[in-house]
Amino acid sequence: MVNEARYGVKRPSIADICAGGFSTPWDAPMIPPFPFRFRNAEILTLYWRTDPDAMAFLLPPPLQPIGDIACVHIYRMNDTDWIGPYCEANVMFGARLPGKAEGGYSPYLVLSTDIGVAHGRELHGQPKKFGQPSVDFRGDLIVGRVERNGIDVITGTLPYKQKPAAPGDLKPYFDFATNLNLKAIDHIDGRPAIRQLTSRRLAEVTIHEVWRGPGTVELRANAQLPVFRLPVLEPLEGFYWRADFTLVAGDIIHDYLDGSA
């Protein structure tokens, strides 16, 4: 019999290991269980017109692209359960699975936390990689940067709080609150274990302030974070906003391995 009091944590049973929300190592779990809360997140959202063919190239079938607009959200997460303060960037464009889901598909995500990278890849199937996003205030300018491998692959700017906006103004091109992703995980022997399209939507969203203005986006080439594949044909507007929200479980909207794909 193991003396659990000695270790300060319960030794899991087989049922615990098989239950949802389990993560290793069990005495210091890596992955937060749903739900967990984000408080006072600061977000710089920038839109640009891009190449529809590039969008179609990056989409896994049977997803279909919507329009010709891409965006990047660069987050300064100031207070997050489990994870603590960190920064994140999510590149998205509109997509749909006819008859089932519509929202924003994410071909690229970058985070400054290993917990967030692991959680996004293991649970949502988001293609998260480690990097250094940031949101800074430089006088009358808000500057968002996404750095990986010592290269600023995304640089975006927005005037500092010049024109107030409403929460409903944040999504003029597609509903990015619903996030679509391709989840791909193999068994240890190399056989495919999970091949799914997933969907998740943030819950308990409280938006504290929204500001809009003309935005700029500059992309630089990086073979390990090829955001340049969504070229900036025309910079559009941007938003700076602050919000609280809760990350909850999502849905499987397509399973490639169930025999019906």
d(CA 19, CA 25): 15
Residue 52: C-alpha distances to residues 70, 117, 124, 145 (Å): 10, 28, 25, 24
d(CA 157, CA 147): 15
E strand or H helix that includes residue 60: none
d(CA 189, CA 144): 41
Let me know: does 209 contact 40? Beta carbons within 8 Å.
no
Question: Does the active-site annotation cover 129?
Answer: no
Considering 10, 100, 128, 129, which one is annotated as catalytic? 128
d(CA 89, CA 149): 15
| CA nearest neighbour of 163 among 89, 72, 71, 237 | 237
Q: Would you give the end-to-end CA distance of the chain in angstroms?
A: 48
CA triple 210-215-219, angle to 5 deg? 125
* Catalytically annotated residues: 128
